[in-house]
Amino acid sequence: MIRQNLQSIHSNNVHWLVFSGDQLLVREVAEGDWQIPFGQLQSLAFVDAYQEQMVEVGEFEQQTCIMVDMGAEQIELTDNLLLVSLRNFLLQHQGSWLELVSRAWQVAQFQRTHRFCGQCGMPMQQIDWEMARQCFQCGHRCYPRYSPCIIVGIRKDDKILLAQGKAQRNRNLFSVLAGFVESGESLEQAVHREVFEEAGIKVKNLRYFASQPWPFPHSLMMGFLADYDSGEIQVDGEEILEADWYLPEQLPNIPAKISIAGQIIEQVMTEIKAWRNAQN
């Protein structure tokens, strides 16, 4: 649940999800052990000036979580406070904070990118009965951006298709295929189109797996599983640099299981094991 116009925040202990630039504020309780700051408002005195930007984004272990976006303002880091990347924090906590940090970051991005009306250019104002911003000059209203994206694990007998995009080259990471859904397109159509565009093959036996919000930057990942149908792998060398079929024993560097990509790969490994057992 997202709630604005917070009243009783001064006296309550809450988790503080504070963003400065594209980084998250944490408290280092031990070397390499990062925790979200927890306490009353005075425990982070500098956030007092940002009360109008505070949004309640849910609960963690039955304690309220408050998002505070400081935009480009810098934080004076004291008392074991650090600024870390969202991705590194989520990888350390293996998913326990994923939903709340994702929601908080997307709300922060929404506030930053909708200060002015995209229709007439006048300042936008936050309305208090829902998470939206409205232009009272022309009546245009905006809601947080959410981009639907498909992601699919493809099996060919006892091999999985993994690819490396340009953005993954520096991390030497290989993953399953993914892409944004185009206007007027169903999820299933998007899967078939993206697979053919990125790898040059066709798939069959398409089935839904799971979904996951992913805050890099504002995606809703909708996962599928599919079987190879026909065609030879062909990549464009620009968006996708290389792709190939991999045996479970020869997997390259793949995403962590915190992400739906890692979870899909794990499920395909299970299906490969079942396929092998059926061949014996």
Taking 60 as the threshold, does the pLDDT of residue 5 lie above it? no
- H or E element at residue 215: none
Q: Mind listing the pLDDT tens digit for each residue in 58-85?
A: 888 888 899 998 888 887 777 788 899 8
Q: Mind listing the pLDDT tens digit for each residue in 198-218?
A: 999 999 999 999 999 887 778
Question: Token digits for 44?
Answer: 């982070």
Could you give the 3-state DSSP secondary structure of residue 15? Answer: strand
Taking 70 as the threshold, does the pLDDT of residue 3 lie above it? no
Question: Residue 10: its pLDDT value, please?
Answer: 59
Q: Which of the given ranges, 28-42, 153-167, 203-217, has the highest pLDDT on average?
A: 153-167
Question: Residue 29: its pLDDT value, please?
Answer: 82
Query: What angle do helix axes 98-113 and 86-93 make, rounded to 10 degrees?
Result: 170
Q: Mind listing the pLDDT tens digit for each residue in 92-136?
A: 876 678 888 888 998 899 988 999 999 999 999 988 788 899 999
- 74: number of CA atoms within 13 Å, CB side? 3
**Residues above pLDDT 70, as percent of the chain:** 95
pLDDT-derived band at 6, boundaries 50, 70, 90: low
Question: Residue 48: its pLDDT value, please?
Answer: 77
Residue 276 dihedral angles phi and psi, to the nearest 5°:
-65, -40
Is this structure's pTM higher than 0.85?
no
**Residues above pLDDT 90, as percent of the chain:** 52
- More confident of the two residues 171 and 30: 171
Question: Residue 9: its pLDDT value, please?
Answer: 61
Contacts 24+ apart (CB under 8 A), 193-198: 194/150, 194/152, 195/152, 195/154, 195/226, 196/231, 198/163, 198/235, 198/236, 198/239, 198/240, 198/243
Lowest mean pLDDT among 23-27, 79-83, 197-201, 239-243: 79-83
Question: Residue 4: its pLDDT value, please?
Answer: 57
Instruction: Domains for the chain: give ranges and CATH numbers.
Output: 14-113 (3.90.79.20), 116-144 (no CATH), 147-279 (3.90.79.10)
Taking 70 as the threshold, does the pLDDT of residue 261 lie above it? yes
